[in-house]
Structure 1
């Protein structure tokens, strides 16, 4: 494939303005995603907002498309650092390792963890880049979409109208969802009849249950992703959702419900039970499946990975000998730099576990070794998943849970116990989490850069700067959210006590404080004295992934891990391999993701299949098929970018406590169905209506 900017053409790329714009976006987009992740346990992929914002600002300055590529690359990395941080750093508070969050030591520890993980991810990507971005089996849907945004901006003309028209539609739909004009989801629990069955001999069990039915998510972005990856991969992912919600959740609920819910329980209780079964039983099974799928994926890639690593070393040797010049578009960071970066991350892990978490030197050395091995393992897997589905659907929390389980087992085998053991497990898992998140995002950006003609080593250097800034800054929004929530809830509680004419309060440790004294206490101490449900892990800042990390780390270190579920998932993953399922990992990921997500992606894939079917019926020639493909990718990219930009806008509204919802309990779900139908018609009709004449020459294909 010929890059948009050829290798022998040197445009301005690593400029001060491009890097500065990227750094500002890294902080802003990272902070917004930290808020979303703590509140809802999800983040928004920053690639498209960074691409559109960077393109607009660089164009105002008469910059080049490679400067736009650099700004997007640096700007989007903050989101991946934030994802790694919110999934793990709050776990130190929830588990009780850090009774006070905001201290100089905790700030340094958190920043070191984020920076070490980010550097590790970038270094492994520098090793894996060539083999991963050139793999024809990996479509990299979001990378293609991001590249099309830049190319459409550079070309102008008709491509731009498709892109920005779809952006407007995606933005409008997301805005309507956010302000709650209509119901954006539909759920219905279809109950089974209560029956009595014979289990063993004369022992009988009264069982009842049902199936939770759900609509696809009203998400133009997910439909756009599904359109890009196509019907086959979309169906494979959705099959995992069917296994989870059509088989496992109903059958477990069927036997569990009689001992949990009273007869005649309301529908809301059944729905809550179904989600609990999925979260605490099915998801661990999916993690077991992902463990086996991850190993199988690496096994299938073994020759390509070995070839890529060998080629990297060979290129370095040839370049040092002066008899080989690597093309600009294929030049990564020097191999010695890569080894130095990996060594730096290992040294940070060793020092953090030894000096800060106070485990022994041997244990710290093993922890650093485990971190490097898992870091490479999950960097490759994260890149593979991004290549298949995009970073929006990369199950970083699932990968981190796997890393945490492995690390905890190693710590237990080494005899580590108590707070120190839990802290060491969380520290290693946090570094691996950030590494996997950064690796996935970096590979996505490098693929987009590969399409556009960017220089890999410059993009990698830019991301190191972005990771460094995000690592030292992101602790601040975490602190503001945590302590701000405690302060708000504390003020509310003190007002209630004052109205009740209560003068003093007794803390759990037996000490007595006046209300004036409580007002002066630091946030975390105020939380303890007033027994507040506030801060990380509270209703307001649930931080679900971090809470699960804290629970698992303590459970394993204290010998209370639900291993049967993990093993069941591993057996399931092995069965998928024996059945020759194309991607056991993708099926397990579908089990792990919410059904509305996989459903919406599947719907987008079906729409792409419909476009291909109608194109074949019309007898389109190859040139027309290419135009249909290009136009469809532009539309899908626009839907993704529009929703992402508006999602971040409303995230900022929430951060500043701007009220924007119109209805507390919106209805009219039929409007959502009309919107889904409208988007489907739009994605089918517009590309086919603009297929062009049969005798027109074919444009460059967007199907990379």
Structure 2
């Protein structure tokens, strides 16, 4: 049975004061925010995905706090990871949209984006993302404790707690970290094996694939069978129903946005090409509809939270007497901050947005901050489809701008500006939600964490512009080195709406699917995420969920006896994240290509190695559960 918020007791009691928001934690967090932001910007522009930085930041924070500063404060380490993880989120929001501006500049439609405009756009989104999350904390973090699993927040807390404890718990976390780091280095460092096991199913006009990364399986294990199964169900619907139907009935017909026939597209790129060209739009429509429904369901609780927060403005005395673990930035300061940022978006020339855009940003920003925070609670920030939310925003905002007469290049720039700010808002709100959940488990002071999140977000926003300009100057967005796949899709969506040639039928199919899920009583948000994500992600998440189900049944429990497995999987997520950051640094430094051995290893051998690694990983997870059962028996 899940633990309710009234029964929950944090690791550090509310009446205990320990070092938290210190000069050393702030400076260390700022450095990590800049490093994680730059590394993830490069990775995201190259492969279209970023890595979550909360857990790597927690591990590094723990090491720096204890080894360098000779301190033993878990809340201080938590503050470092709170500030440091903001860099990854700001980078994710910026790289998924803003490169479209650079691509239009190369086409001669607009002038090259300036450092000032990029920084201001990102800064507005970063601050709003944190501010929007503050009034949502009580409803999402506190009152839904035990309902939303927050897998990566739990993993982050377990990593920090492992540093406080001695014995088998810490061993489980750090053994998972070491194993995952080694696996990640073998897969993406020396490239000795394939990262994805793919099985073409030509008779069914599709394929089945699964990543072998430890972190993805670990997320599925922590989420559990139920949530993993709904994600996988969405993946099955996309890859084993929608794709075969499109190929079977499409024939040689040329369907937008492809410029070749469906059969030719399938022959050239397989099921992945069909998913990328068509099904992804269906996923975006499903995700947008699920987000609207999710917000509608949350409105009563959100309104209640706002009402209680406004009541707290009657006097500061009541606030001063509140528990340390309940203190937050005042709702008055939040409202003033939101109004000030909205005014800046409207009035500052470098942002190139008007009052309509400012209003759209406030409305959609709060909407997607809510949705993003709940998604992170379901699947973790690594699998939070921020770009899907950006697509939904671009669809609606571009239509509204077009209707209002703001068309052409200026209208497209305005749409991307709105999309960029919303994307940053969604990313940083999800990160803030995750960090606040970690702090809730550990007993951190929410107000200090919220200030720390603002510090990390502001610093990251002011530095990401230089990183984008540097990378574009070095390789150019849209090139082989920096394909910028997400931003290219955003550009396509914006141009499609403005020019009147967007495949609306796919978007409406996705929305209709979401309505169907709701009528069947299914969690539409989880299933919609499964449609939008490639099956190579949902399949290993499902594997992790199945392993959790089997171990729970074997141990005849739903939580306690599986804790060793949860600790081990938490270590898997942390270890892969740390090695991912290291490999990103090696890539930027030009060292990664020199250590890669993949070109010298036959494809069959690499695939066999992938299968072996997957079997070894599953065996290790099972063994850690057995060791936990044996320890209890003793």
Cα distance, 1:294 vs structure 2: 1.0
Q: Distance in 2 between matches of 1:425 and 1:382?
A: 20
CA separation of 1:94 and 1:124: change in aligned 2, threshold 3 A: same
SS of the aligned residue for 1:542 comes to coil
Match of 2:582 among 649, 665, 678: 649
| 1:629, distance to aligned residue in structure 2 (A) | 2.7
Equivalent residue for 1:444? 434
1:662 aligns with 2:597: yes
The 1-side partners of 2:455 and 2:201 are apart by: 52
- Aligned partner of 2:307 in structure 1 is 310
Instruction: State whether structure 2 residue 98 is matched by structure 1 residue 89.
Output: yes
In the alignment, does 2:346 pair up with 1:350?
Answer: yes
Please, what TM-score do these two structures have when normalized by structure 1? Answer: 0.83
From 475, 483, 486, give the equivalent of 1:542. Answer: 483
Cα shift readout 1:125-163 (whole Å, capped 9, x = no counterpart): 111011111203101111011001011101122211111
| Aligned position for 1:169 | 179
Contact in 2 for aligned 1:97/1:423 (Cα 8 Å): no
Secondary structure at 1:213 match in 2: strand
For residues 323 and 562 of structure 1, do their structure 2 counterparts lie closer, same or farther at Cα, with a shift above 3 Å needed?
A: closer
SS in structure 2 at match of 1:603: helix
SS in 1 for 2:391: helix
- 1:700 is aligned to none
State the partner residue of 1:196: none
**Is 1:381 matched with 2:345?**
no
Tell me what 2:528 maps to. Answer: 588
Distance 2:631 2:194 in 1: 42
User: 1:292 corresponds to which residue?
Assistant: 289
Match of 2:156 among 146, 162, 168: 146
- d(CA) in 1 for partners of 2:26, 2:363: 31
5+ residue gaps, structure 1, are 193-209, 486-534, 697-704
Once the two structures are superposed, the pairs formed by residues 259-274 of structure 1 within 5 Å of their partners are 259=253, 270=267, 272-274=269-271
RMSD, matched Cα: 2.2
Q: Give 1:692 deviation, angstroms.
A: 5.3
Higher mean C-alpha displacement, 298-307 vs 572-581? 298-307
**Equivalences for residues 151-550 of structure 1 within 5 A:** 151-178=161-188, 179-192=190-203, 210-259=204-253, 270=267, 272-317=269-314, 319-320=315-316, 322=318, 325-352=321-348, 355-356=349-350, 364-485=354-475, 535-550=476-491
Distance 2:110 2:53 in 1: 27
Structure with a larger share of its residues in helix: 2
The verdict on how the C-alpha distance between 1:213 and 1:461 changes in structure 2, with shifts beyond 3 A counting, is same
State how far apart, in whole Å, the 2-side matches of 1:626 and 1:564 are.
44
Is contact 1:12–1:66 with CA below 8 Å preserved after alignment?
Answer: yes
Q: 2:140 aligns with which of 122, 132, 135?
A: 132
Contact 2:130 2:428 in 1 (8 A): yes
- State how far apart, in whole Å, the 2-side matches of 1:605 and 1:269 are: 31
Q: Distance in 2 between matches of 1:682 and 1:663?
A: 25
**CA positional deviation for 1:685:** 2.3
The alpha-carbon distance between structure 1 residues 322 and 176, as it changes in their structure 2 partners (threshold 3 A), is closer
**Alpha-carbon distance in structure 2 between the residues aligned to 1:341 and 1:306:** 19
Separation (CA, whole Å) in 2 of partners of 1:692 and 1:4: 26
Look up the SS of the partner of 1:439 in the other structure: helix
Post-superposition shift, 1:248?
0.6
In structure 1, the partner of 2:498 is 557
SS in structure 2 at match of 1:216:
strand
- Aligned-residue offset at 1:75: 0.4
Residues of 2 paired with 1:676 and 1:556: CA distance? 43
Deviation at 1:343, TM superposition (A): 1.2
**Count of paired positions:** 612
Q: Counterpart in 1 of 2:5?
A: none
Q: Distance in 2 between matches of 1:44 and 1:345?
A: 28
Structure 2 residue aligned with 1:610: 550
Task: Pick one of 620, 626, 629 that aligns with 1:688.
Answer: 626
Residue in 2 that maps onto 1:57: 64
CA contact (8 A) 1:627 1:692 kept: no
Shift of 1:306: 1.7
Query: 2 CA distance for matches of 1:627 and 1:236?
Result: 24
Partner of 2:616: 678
Whether the 8 Å contact between 2:105 and 2:111 is mirrored in structure 1 is: no
CA distance in 2, matches of 1:223, 1:82: 25
1:73 aligned to which of 72, 82, 103: 82
Q: Distance in 2 between matches of 1:262 and 1:418?
A: 27
Structure 2 partner of 1:514: none
How far apart are residue 232 of structure 1 and its match? 0.8
For residue 44 of structure 2, the aligned residue among 33, 37, 47 is 37
Q: Structure 2: which 5+ residue stretches go unaligned?
A: 1-7
Contact 2:198 2:210 in 1 (8 A): no
Q: TM-score, normalised by structure 2?
A: 0.92
Larger-Rg structure = 1
Runs of 4+ in 1 over 3 A off after TM superposition: 96-103, 257-263, 321-324, 356-359, 692-696
